[in-house]
Structure 1
């Protein structure tokens, strides 16, 4: 039976310019007319969307952010992000039909109208946690951005983030001998060790170099960096010969801190250190490989898609602030 297309949709919008760090009451759920789908467009009912802390880097100011590949969110604008949903209306004879499940980037609402070309089909039975999680990014970083050798000591900065929670598990599966993480404080560090199986967690509330020296006395082989700043600098000082550093993000700067980093250039040549900025977009072939391998790893219990699901569009802004504050582990989804 065909589901009728509604005339309106609820949308989370920015209602005032944040003063300092955004707060949940800087946002509101409003109802807006749903645009008529033109030729080549689909209407999608959103089943779930991802809440990413990096979205806060785009909020307010109405101007482009250097190094941020997405448009800013000004007062009156709707928030956006990766979402999964069911197609309610589609052009006849096209590659996407009514009832298909798709991924798109117009989350933070009940219904979305967007071009077919901006949708990617996924199997109807795939869970939102897998479809919207960052496992594919972490997998590509650990198999294309660098490669984990058997017995490597691996450090994942922001080890409880959406990417970090998957990267630590994947590194272990790929043969790492010891997997470490960074976290904000000891309480969160203990949680990451209990829930994600890290061997040790280095926390920002104590001197980083001393902790890394104790957690990895022989040094680091691979670093998956999601933070930048002082955590990356300390990780470079702990490098073993031929250490490989893959830089995926700069959460320190996106969350109001300082991602600027001063590295000891005298270490790179003698230790043969490599440092690489990386995006999984560089290796689109990794996605299909990830889907196949992750399905087997999840089935046999080696991999657990860490995260949480929040019910209700009205709780989405609160979830965003909670993600930025480190209240969650893994990928956070909202089901409208």
Structure 2
């Protein structure tokens, strides 16, 4: 027969086991137990969506859960970045960012500083290329720059919108080479490319994955690329470095979560991204598009964010851009 003391102790144990899990218990729950959202700051069909779709299957396999790709365009990306920054820091809402995430901190009133996020993974970099039509008189980047130096503001350069990433990238070339272009803004990359095809402008700056189909069909000529080494898909095209300046104004895609996400969940997300970035299907897609796949974890990503921030801020100050 149990003593009074034993009965009391059994009661305490039963009550303890019956209590709902607190903070410590919730940290031990299965993750993920519901779909993880990839929040894309741009309309469906663009580079961000393509990146998320390429990662989705190998990421799901690695993490043992499902992914929902959600497009939240508007505000130059800031609507989506604010949504992610203000979401619960539970690892279920991840945002994709690129150089526009850096640029809009300085060029808009709604930009979101990167220190409001927990960095997770860098996935790929895609260099930018200075492009002209094949019938253009400029066969090389040197000829193009020589003409610009001798004829200030005569070369019309298309961009995808005032203060957009590649508009600022073109200003970066002005800063590096001491030239002055006439900037012609359009509403998006598509109209920008159409204008160049139609001969309404002289050149542009855009990511090589966008330009490749036109290069292969002999409609465009790429004069130089922004990558540190020559692109495998454009091996005959020199880099900016070969002309004496370093200007990393291509695009890249990285993933972040709201600040304060539990470390164990961040670790699991990082490992899933690592596996996805190193998968054959992901690498194969970007090899065809001129992208350089590379997994960077949080420490390396923070260092890269800071490097990009210094670069874009310097160009923005040179170009006298103001928040709008």
Shorter-normalised TM range: 0.3 to 0.5
- In the superposition, the TM-score normalised over structure 2's length comes to 0.32
Between Structure 1 and Structure 2, the one with more strand by share is: 1
Between Structure 1 and Structure 2, the one with more helix by share is: 2
- In the superposition, the TM-score normalised over structure 1's length comes to 0.32
